[in-house]
Every structure is written in C-alpha cells, then in structure tokens.
Amino acid sequence: MTLGFYPGCSLKGSSREYAESVLTVAKAFDIELEEISDWNCCGATAAHNLNLELSLALPARILSLAEKQGLKEIVVPCAACYSRLTVTKHQLSGNPDLKNEVSEATGLDYEGSVDVLNIIQMLDKYITPNLEGRIVNPFDHKVACYYGCLLVRPHEILKFDREEDPRSMDDLMLKAGATPIDWAFKTECCGAGLSVSRTSSVGRLSGKIIGDARDRGAEAVIVACPMCHSNLDMRRDAINTFLGEKVDIPVLYVTQALGLAAGLDRKALGLHRHFVNVSV
C-alpha cells in the first residue's frame, strides 16, 4: 500500500537517520511512502512566533500540494511539522474567511481533505497489526519513552494521546520486546527551538530529562521528534555539563528501535549517525 509522506527539513539534513529508519521500516512492512512533490518548510516555531498568517500559509501550501497529488493520508514523522500541519488544518476548518485568505496567499486550492498522521499513529495503524512473527530480535532493554511537547499538546486540537502521561509509544515499545519505565519527564520540554540561541537553557531542560532517565535505570531514551533528538543527542555536552557527569545513555528514534527489533540492518536505520554511541 501507499501513503503520502512529508519528511520536513530536519529529516533531509541534521536528522536524516530518522528518515532512513522510517523508510527502512516502512519498506520492510510493504508500505510505500510517496513524498509530497515540491514540498516546502512548514515554518516551524519561527513562523508562528513572528507571524500568524505566515504560520498558516506555509503548512497550507503543503496540504494543498498533497491534495493535488491525490493523497488521502500523509505521514509526518517530525512532531513539530505534525503539530504545524494539524493546527493549520484545525484553524482553517470551519473558518471559510481564513481559508480563502490563506488560499489567496498560497495561490492554491485548499479543501482540508488530507488526514495527517504522526509516526506513532502510522505505526499503530499499519505496522503493529502485522508484527506477529516479525520481532526476531526483541529490543530487550529498559527504555524511557520521551514524547516531548508537540506530539501530544494541545490535546484540544491534536486529539492524540494523554497530554502528560501518554502511553502509545510505551505500548509500541512493549510490543518490540522492550521494558518501558515509569518516569517523570515523558512530556517535559527539551528546550526545542532555543537550541542555538539559548543553548544553556537547553542544557538545563534536556539535562533534567536525561538525568531522570538515568536515575530510573533507563538503558535508552526513545523519541519521535527530530528536535527532541537533536537536543538530547547532539547537545549531550551541554547536558553533561549541567549534570556534572558524563551520561552515555543513547537516544533512538522509535523507528530505529522497532527496526532493530525486527532484525533490520543497523546502518540502514542510520544508527551510526548519532553523537552518543548506540551501544544497545
């Protein structure tokens, strides 16, 4: 079967291993991901921090292109892109004036007919039902499933999982043979877009997350967002400075952990690209 695919900018650059693992896992389960043609950046935090209309028009262009391509469902692995696309769809539905205004800015028709799936929703819908007999190499580790902010909040719009104690990724990792731990930082913010402009804040926020995972005996942190991954992995020096010791718990994308459990190739899953060595 074929699903629409919006990789977003991070998955083409600093988080390309996320894209590699999503595509590798999808292929192993006979799902073809069709990229939206000529897609643009969703505008991320920068757009909605500075300009409301821009923050709606950029995602609207993406959704319009997906409609034009005849896609009914698109997978959006980046939690920030998923948030922007879903929020835009929500804002434009039931507001014809705004919809016209945004269509005028993009120069494209917009129906609002495309369903947006985050990575957990895609895995739950199309892959976990077919997991039987596929977990050849159970991910037998204690894992801290870290959801971050944008995958689960605001619930009023996303209507996905619980806002402060979500379970979906824990359930998925359980099926992959892991032991998800109970911990306190599942949805605390990693520092997100302040990574470059206020790195010390990120060291503190991400440091608390890694610190709690360590204190509760996690052997790996599992994520579903490239920004969370960048901060917890690439900013490990700032985290270690905050914690006052070197912590080497690796951070894996949910698709990488699932891929390992399904016996897929480590390199194809992009595990060699991490800053913190993936020892699990």
Partner 1 sequence: MSSDPHSPVFSVLGGEIMEHTEVKVSHCYQCGKCSAGCPLSTEMDYPPSVIMRMLQRGSPEFEEKVLRSLSIWVCLTCEMCFARCPMSIDIPKMMDFLRAKALKEKKASPKAKEIVAFHKSFLDSIRYTGRLYEIGLFADYKARTLKILDDMALAPKMMKRGKLNIIPELIKDRSGVASIFKKTIKKNNN
**Going along the chain, which residue ranges are E strands?**
2-5, 32-35, 73-75, 115-117, 142-145, 179-180, 220-223, 251-253
Q: Which is nearer to partner 1, 31 or 57 (CB)?
A: 57
d(CA 51, CA 76): 23
Choose one: 128-136, 175-183, 243-251, 266-274; the region binding partner 1 (CB under 8 A). 266-274
User: Where are the extended beta strands (E) located within 87-195?
Assistant: 115-117, 142-145, 179-180
CA count, 13 A, side-chain hemisphere, 202: 21
Q: Is residue 252 a contact partner of residue 220, using CB atoms and an 8 Å limit?
A: yes
The residue within the footprint of partner 1, chosen from 142, 163, 214, 280 (CB under 8 A), is 163
Question: Counting contacts by CB under 8 A, is residue 129 touching partner 1?
Answer: no
89 binds partner 1 (CB under 8 A): no
Q: Which of 30, 35, 111, 164 is close enough to bind partner 1 by CB under 8 A? A: 164
Question: Judged by CB under 8 A, does residue 128 bind partner 1?
Answer: no
> Taking CB under 8 A as the rule, does residue 104 contact partner 1?
yes
CB atoms within 10 A of CB 277: 10
- Residue 126 Cβ, how far from partner 1 at the closest point, in Å? 27
Least distance CB 174 / partner 1 (angstroms): 25
CB of 105 to partner 1, least distance (A): 4
Among 31, 61, 84, 145, binds partner 1 (CB under 8 A): 61
Give Cβ neighbours of residue 271 (< 8 Å, ≥ 6 apart): 17, 252, 256, 260, 278
- 196 binding partner 1? (CB under 8 A): yes
Position 16 contacts partner 1 (CB under 8 A):
yes
Q: Which residues of 176-212 are buried (b: 16+ CB within 10 A; e: fewer)?
A: bbbebbebebbbbbbbbebbeeeeeebbbbbbbbbbb
With CA atoms as reference, report the closest residue to 189 among 156, 162, 227, 217: 227
> If DSSP codes are grouped into helix, strand and coil, which group holds residue 2?
strand
Any contact of residue 240 with partner 1 (CB under 8 A)? no
CB count in 10 Å sphere of residue 103: 18
Which stretch, 52-60, 127-135, 217-225, 252-260, contacts partner 1 (CB under 8 A)?
Answer: 52-60
39 binds partner 1 (CB under 8 A): yes
Backbone phi, psi, residue 7, to 5°:
-70, -40
Indicate whether 43 belongs to the interface with partner 1 (CB under 8 A): yes
* Binding map of partner 1 across residues 135-154, x = CB under 8 A, - = no contact: --------------xx--xx
State the residues that interact with partner 1 by CB under 8 A.
Answer: 9-10, 12-16, 38-41, 43-55, 57-58, 61, 104-107, 149-150, 153-156, 163-164, 187-189, 191-194, 196-199, 201, 205, 234, 272-275
